[in-house]
Amino acid sequence: MRKKELLKLIKTKSEEINIKDFSAAIVEKARLLPQSEAIIRPKRKFYFKPSLMYSFTLVTAVVAFFFLYNPASPIVPQIEDVNQVVALSSVTAVSLIEFDTTLIDQNNTTYLSLDYVTLDVPVTTQIDEEIDDVTMYLGTMEKLLNSDDDFNYQMNTTTIDGYNNHLSFTAKDMLDQETDYTFNFNQVENQTDNQFTLQGTIEIDGIHYMVTAQGALNNPQQLQLHIEKDANNYIDINYEVTETTSRYQISVVENGTQLQSTNMVVKEINNRRSVYLDFIDGQSTGSYAFRLTEENQMRRMNISYYISGDTSESGEIDVTVDTTGATSQYAIEIRPQGRMPYMIEKDRGMNYHGGGPSSSLPGVSYIWNLIFTNKKVFSFVC
């Protein structure tokens, strides 16, 4: 058989074979096989629980407080000489020694609860336990924050009533009322020990307080001042200059027992004076930063605070002077972090201008002013 005939025979035979089409069956079986599906997970979003949100807010407030209150800040008022230190220490001591702590026990504080109505006293906060001690220092802070750096002091060395030196200085409170002080004293110097001792009296509106002070003759790095109302009621102040700050250590003794001790620092930040107070010994333990602001022609004392403990607390306090009554009082708005704000009034105490302890009930016109200014609901809680 020839090649051509052989090829023709092969072609003929192959066309006679019927090859089945299995493509459809294969596709159907493939469809029934298990399939792997790719799942794209959405990005997880983080939401604060209410308790975590409060904790985060509290931590933020604490960090902000200590950012503001930096004991290592080198920006401090320049102390020109020992007279300036004596003036500041005397203003501080007299304000504290004149504060009558028995008023605290007699004070029937009235609470004004903001934004809600209740028949109970607002939820107790840590600041409630310390506000009486803070009130003791409000008169001091008024004068330290609103007076000139050197208290406009003047020295007279004329011998009068047995005293050879007379240091006069003036302090102003939040109402710009002035209090004049005169420190009459004799000075004894010890050149060998580079020490001096001052002994005399401070006179304010006819009231005299015995004073003893000791310090260095050159550049006052330290000064100890003791001012007494009597033998059992007195204030000790230790002034010390370090590389970073000027600090006043204050000890308050009442009826022969130390009531409390504190550390106080005075600073100038951005041309604004601030005073920082730390309670060291006593019932209070908080740290407080004081400064003056002015809003709607009303001067306010703003206080930031932080109180450590099992449950730490921070917050803000605004203090204004209520002059609507027969005598002035402190109107105090307390805003604990994460708690309902509330208001109280406290006796302002002696102010050497016909002042003195007064009723603790709020001034009526002051309360009405708060209601219409803040447009909030108030309830009286006694």
Residue 19 falls inside a structural domain: no
Q: What is the DSSP letter of 349?
A: -
pLDDT value of residue 193:
87
State how far the alpha carbon of 111 is from the alpha carbons of 34, 101, 130, in Å.
Answer: 73, 20, 16
Residue 371 falls inside a structural domain: yes
348-349-351-354 Cα dihedral, nearest 10 degrees: 110
Is the distance from CB of 150 to CB of 80 less than 8 angstroms?
Answer: yes
pLDDT value of residue 89:
93
Residue 82 falls inside a structural domain: yes
Residue 31 falls inside a structural domain: no
pLDDT value of residue 333:
95
pLDDT value of residue 353:
41
Q: Which residues contact 341 (CB under 8 A, 6 or more apart)?
A: 114, 115, 333, 334, 335
> What distance in Å separates the CA atoms of residue 340 and residue 338, rounded to the nearest whole number?
7
Q: Which of 367, 364, 363 is nearest to 347 (CA)?
A: 363
Residue 359 falls inside a structural domain: yes
Q: Which H or E run includes 222?
A: strand 222-230
Label each residue of 149-186 as H, E or C. CCCCCEEECCCECCECEEEEEEEECCCCCEEEEEEEEE
Enclosing domain of residue 150 = 50-381
Is the distance from CB of 214 to CB of 227 less than 8 angstroms?
Answer: no
Q: Which of 345, 325, 348, 324 is nearest to 334 (CA)?
A: 345
> What distance in Å separates the CA atoms of residue 171 and residue 94, rounded to the nearest whole number?
11
pLDDT value of residue 187:
93
> What distance in Å separates the CA atoms of residue 200 and residue 34, rounded to the nearest whole number?
102
Q: What is the DSSP letter of 148?
A: -
Residue 30 falls inside a structural domain: no
Is the distance from CB of 120 to CB of 381 less than 8 angstroms?
Answer: yes
pLDDT value of residue 218:
76
Radius of gyration of the chain (CA): 38
pLDDT value of residue 129:
92
Residuewise pLDDT in 10s, the chain (382 residues): 565 666 666 666 656 655 556 566 665 655 666 555 555 554 444 444 444 444 444 444 444 444 444 444 434 444 456 888 899 999 999 999 888 665 554 444 555 555 444 434 456 789 999 999 999 999 999 999 999 888 999 999 999 999 999 999 999 999 999 999 999 999 999 999 889 999 999 999 889 999 999 988 876 678 999 999 999 999 999 998 877 778 999 999 999 999 999 999 998 877 788 999 999 999 999 999 999 998 888 899 999 999 998 889 999 999 999 888 777 889 999 999 988 899 999 988 654 443 333 333 344 334 434 443 443 333 333 3
pLDDT value of residue 327:
79
Question: Is the sign of the CA dihedral 60, 65, 71, 76 positive or negative?
Answer: positive
Is the distance from CB of 276 to CB of 264 less than 8 angstroms?
Answer: yes
Residue 243 falls inside a structural domain: yes
Residue 118's DSSP bridge partners are: none
Phi-psi region of 363 (alpha: psi -120 to 50; beta: other; left: phi over 0): beta
> What distance in Å separates the CA atoms of residue 372 and residue 368, rounded to the nearest whole number?
6
Question: Model confidence over 69-126: pLDDT tens digits?
Answer: 444 443 444 445 688 889 999 999 999 988 866 555 444 455 555 544 443 445 678 9
pLDDT value of residue 53:
43
Residue 34 falls inside a structural domain: no
The number of distinct structural domains making up the chain is 1
State how far the alpha carbon of 287 is from the alpha carbons of 17, 70, 197, 275, 304, in Å.
Answer: 103, 12, 33, 11, 8
Q: What is the DSSP letter of 326?
A: S
pLDDT value of residue 11:
65
Number of Cβ atoms within 10 Å of the Cβ of 58: 18
pLDDT value of residue 109:
52
